[in-house]
């Protein structure tokens, strides 16, 4: 009886299910080579920083996809190219912003001190120090009253559009008017408030509440749109559950819908305030200009930071030292820095408030 051995199968080669990839350090290596290649004409031909940056970016966007085309194939090269273009667009957008912030901080920080923030421009003697305190108070009060006017109107208009006005002609007209108001220039809002108060109180009227009315025209569309989007995100099941328990519609809106959307609504309101706090043209028309600190928005002129910056830059005065910085320019840069800080604080507050009031989720 003879036995035959089973044929020995040749060992199969391992099959790779992943395509070849460039090493992780490939983008960094190409970036170093691109920087060196861009620096060479800068040293030999005297190119500026802008030319060096453009050549560096061009070398990087060409070299990395070509290397990827050889190793990773066509798809990998396309992915590398698009990723590089996205990063390039991001840098192009960031560079002007960083440059602007650096310029404002560099020129405005020397003007910031306790006197600058606590004194007004009203002088009782020639050697008295001046500051922007009156403009800070005017900015806070005018913006506060603008929010008092626009926030209730905007929120109630959004509630009508989402909860009551579906398919109605009035809702369509309100939506159309909100869209139109979103695109109106700020000077038009200022002219409206200017004409309104002149007709009511006379041609010489310059009053802080007029600036609040003008700013409210710019805030209302933002509040309406942001509140609309937040109310749309509230699940319909919450409303239906409340209706099933016999809760009236108005009470459902107050107790269920608004608390659920409160974080987004507050965020939208805060961002609308940040949007209008830097307006100049409408306030220059109706709120006017003064060197005194005015705490009453219903009586007398009020100065805001944007108006102060504009007027100081337009009338900078005479430098104490020939060739030195004129006092108005220094004050304008200091006011610009304070205004940017206020806007940044408002934006940070909007994010924090949005997280605090956001609906809690869990399993």
Whether the predicted pLDDT of 112 surpasses 60: yes
**Residue (of 152, 145, 155, 153) closest to 264 by Cα position:** 155
| Tens digits of residue pLDDT in 39-71 | 877 777 777 777 778 888 888 888 888 888 888
- Spell out the CATH class of 118-357: mainly alpha
* pLDDT score at 218: 92
Question: What's the chain's Rg over C-alpha atoms?
Answer: 31
- Mean model confidence pLDDT for the chain: 85
Cβ atoms of 59 and 35 within 8 Å: the answer is no
Number of C-beta neighbours around residue 311 at 10 A: 19
Q: CA 159 to CA 49: how far, in whole Å?
A: 53
* pLDDT score at 228: 92
CA distances (Å), origin 155, targets 149, 337, 356: 11, 32, 20
Average pLDDT, stretch 226-232? 91
Whether the predicted pLDDT of 159 surpasses 90: yes
* pLDDT score at 363: 44
Distance of CA 2 to the CA centre of its chain: 89
CB under 8 Å, gap of 24 or more: what pairs does 341-350 form? 342/139, 342/277, 342/305, 343/274, 343/277, 343/278, 346/270, 346/271, 346/273, 346/274, 346/277, 347/270, 347/271, 347/274, 349/270, 350/266, 350/267, 350/270, 350/271, 350/274
Cβ atoms of 149 and 222 within 8 Å: the answer is no
| Tens digits of residue pLDDT in 323-340 | 667 888 888 899 999 999
Range in 105-114, 120-129, 290-299 with the lowest mean pLDDT? 120-129
For the whole model, what pTM was predicted?
Answer: 0.80
> According to DSSP H, which parts of the chain are helical?
26-44, 49-71, 73-108, 114-118, 133-159, 169-182, 186-201, 208-233, 236-244, 249-252, 258-276, 281-286, 305-314, 327-357
| Tens digits of residue pLDDT in 189-226 | 989 999 999 998 888 888 999 999 999 999 999 999 99
Whether the predicted pLDDT of 12 surpasses 60: no
Task: Parse the chain into domains and list their residue ranges.
Answer: 26-109, 118-357
Average pLDDT, stretch 155-177? 90
Whether the predicted pLDDT of 122 surpasses 70: yes
Helix axes 49-71, 73-108, angle to 10 degrees: 160
* pLDDT score at 47: 73
**Residue (of 180, 143, 141, 176) closest to 295 by Cα position:** 141
């Amino acid at each position: 009886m003879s036995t035959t051995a089973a044929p020995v199968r040749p060992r199969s080669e391992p099959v790779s299910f992943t395509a070849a990839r460039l090493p992780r350090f490939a983008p960094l290596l190409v970036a170093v080579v691109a920087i060196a290649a861009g620096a060479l004409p800068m040293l030999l031909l005297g190119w500026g920083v802008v030319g060096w940056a453009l050549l560096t970016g061009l070398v990087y966007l060409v070299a990395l996809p070509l290397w990827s085309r050889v190793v990773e194939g066509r798809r990998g090269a396309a992915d590398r190219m698009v990723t590089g273009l996205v990063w390039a667009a991001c840098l192009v957008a960031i560079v002007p912003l960083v440059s602007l912030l650096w310029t404002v901080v560099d020129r405005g920080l020397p003007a910031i001190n306790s006197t600058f923030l606590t004194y007004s421009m009203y002088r009782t003697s020639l050697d008295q120090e001046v500051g922007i305190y009156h403009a800070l108070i005017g900015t806070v009060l005018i913006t506060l009253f603008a929010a008092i006017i626009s926030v209730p109107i905007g929120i109630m208009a959004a509630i009508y559009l989402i909860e009551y006005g579906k398919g109605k002609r009035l809702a369509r007209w309100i939506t159309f008017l909100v869209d139109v108001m979103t695109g109106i220039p700020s000077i038009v809002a200022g002219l409206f408030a200017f004409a309104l108060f002149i007709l009511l109180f006379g041609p010489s009227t310059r009053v802080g509440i007029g600036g609040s009315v003008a700013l409210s025209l710019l805030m209302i569309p933002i509040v309406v749109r942001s509140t609309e989007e937040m109310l749309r995100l509230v699940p319909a099941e919450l409303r239906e559950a409340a209706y099933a328990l016999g809760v009236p519609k108005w009470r459902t809106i107050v107790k269920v819908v608004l608390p659920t959307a409160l974080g987004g609504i507050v965020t939208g309101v805060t961002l609308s305030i940040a949007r209008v706090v830097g307006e100049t043209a409408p306030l220059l028309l109706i709120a006017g200009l003064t060197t005194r600190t005015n705490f009453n928005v219903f009586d007398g002129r009020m100065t805001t930071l944007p108006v102060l910056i504009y007027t100081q830059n337009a009338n900078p005065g005479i430098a104490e030292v020939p060739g030195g910085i004129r006092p108005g320019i220094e004050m304008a840069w200091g006011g610009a820095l304070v205004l940017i800080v206020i806007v940044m604080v408002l934006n940070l507050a909007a994010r924090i408030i949005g997280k605090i009031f956001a609906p809690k989720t869990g399993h």
